[in-house]
């Protein structure tokens, strides 16, 4: 089995020092694409460029951004790409706050291996993290699957809950979208994952 997806799923325990295996460095995170400024209006004084229009909003405090790794996705307003990570894919966090995150990456394993099988392998490896508990693993629409789990995390000041969903896009590729945050605020983590899933579009 290829190691890319499992290494990425194992990311969430890395910040607490759980597990001593080496992990691949994070891929370069994408940047939000800023629209070109509009033409300036003619006038006797020096024209000022029209301010760029804001990124599309999905409502509920999320903004759609484009990532250079080949997709668009909704992230919580104010969150930015994070490059200080020890896993694969693209990451978003609120600047200065590492208690929560959103991670997106390609699943590179063969489609012959089911999504729930991959997530169960991920869950088994995550058991190395302190206080790890698998909350649920369930099939979703089509060939998708979702894993929910918790573990002890200094970044989240206690328990952290992770929610990972594998989806298959119309072009046949599989992607994993992962949201994590304090277990005490699981409702917000679920909202972040839902917004990401509903807006996710590969290029």
Range with the lowest mean pLDDT among 82-91, 119-128, 163-172, 189-198? 82-91
Domain total of the chain: 1
Q: What are phi and psi of 196, to 5 degrees?
A: -65, -45
pLDDT at 6 over 80: no
The answer to whether position 81 is within a domain reads: yes
Q: What is the pLDDT of residues 102-125, one digit of tens each?
A: 999 999 999 899 999 999 999 999
**pLDDT confidence of residue 87:** 82
The answer to whether position 48 is within a domain reads: no
Segment 9-18 shows an average pLDDT of 44
Domain that holds residue 116: 4-30+57-185+194-202
Mean predicted lDDT score pLDDT of the chain: 80
Q: What is the pLDDT of residues 123-168, one digit of tens each?
A: 999 999 999 999 999 999 889 999 999 999 999 889 999 999 999 9
Q: What is the 3-state secondary structure (H, E, C) of the chain?
A: CCCHHHHHHHHHHHHHCCCCCCCCCCCCCCCCCCCCCCCCCCCCCCCCCCCCCCCCEEECCEEEEEECCCEEEEEECCCEECCCCCCCCEEEEECCEEEEEEEEEECCCCCCCCHHHHHHHHHHHHCCCCCCEEEEEEECCCCCEEEEEEEEECCCCEEEEEEEEEEECCCCCEEEEEEEEEHHHHHHHHHHHHHHHHHCEEC
Segment 13-42 shows an average pLDDT of 36
**pLDDT confidence of residue 157:** 87
Sheet containing 80-81, strands listed edge to edge, beginning at the edge strand earlier in sequence? 80-81, 90-94, 97-106, 174-182, 158-168, 145-153, 133-139
The answer to whether position 45 is within a domain reads: no
More confident residue, 17 or 163: 163
The answer to whether position 51 is within a domain reads: no
pLDDT at 10 over 60: no
CATH number at residue 82: 3.40.1000.10
Contact residues for 188 (Cβ-Cβ < 8 A; gap 6+) = 100, 181
The answer to whether position 160 is within a domain reads: yes
Which pLDDT band, with edges at 50, 70 and 90, does 86 fall under? confident
The answer to whether position 71 is within a domain reads: yes
* Cα 126–Cα 121–Cα 79 angle in degrees, nearest 5: 55
Mark 74-86 as b/e (b = at least 16 C-beta within 10 Å): bbbeebebbeebe
Which pLDDT band, with edges at 50, 70 and 90, does 57 fall under? low
The answer to whether position 35 is within a domain reads: no
The answer to whether position 42 is within a domain reads: no
- Write down the pTM of the prediction: 0.75
């Amino acid at each position: 089995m290829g190691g890319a997806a499992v290494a990425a799923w194992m990311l969430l325990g890395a910040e607490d020092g759980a597990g001593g295996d080496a992990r691949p460095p994070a891929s370069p995170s994408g940047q939000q694409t800023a629209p070109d400024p509009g033409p300036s209006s003619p006038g006797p004084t020096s024209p000022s460029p029209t301010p760029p229009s804001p990124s599309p909003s999905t409502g509920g405090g999320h903004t759609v951004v484009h990532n250079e790794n080949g997709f668009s996705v909704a992230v919580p307003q104010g969150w930015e790409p994070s490059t200080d990570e020890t896993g694969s894919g693209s990451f978003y966090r609120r600047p200065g706050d590492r208690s929560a995150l959103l991670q997106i990456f390609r699943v590179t394993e063969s489609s012959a291996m089911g999504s729930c099988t991959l997530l169960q392998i991920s869950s088994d490896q995550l058991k190395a993290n302190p206080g790890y508990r698998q909350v649920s693993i369930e099939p979703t629409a089509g060939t998708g699957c979702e894993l929910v789990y918790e573990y002890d995390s200094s970044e989240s000041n206690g328990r952290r809950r992770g929610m990972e969903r594998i989806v298959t896009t119309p072009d046949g590729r599989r992607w994993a979208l992962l949201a994590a945050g304090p277990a005490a605020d699981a409702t917000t983590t679920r909202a972040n994952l839902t917004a990401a899933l509903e807006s996710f579009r590969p290029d």
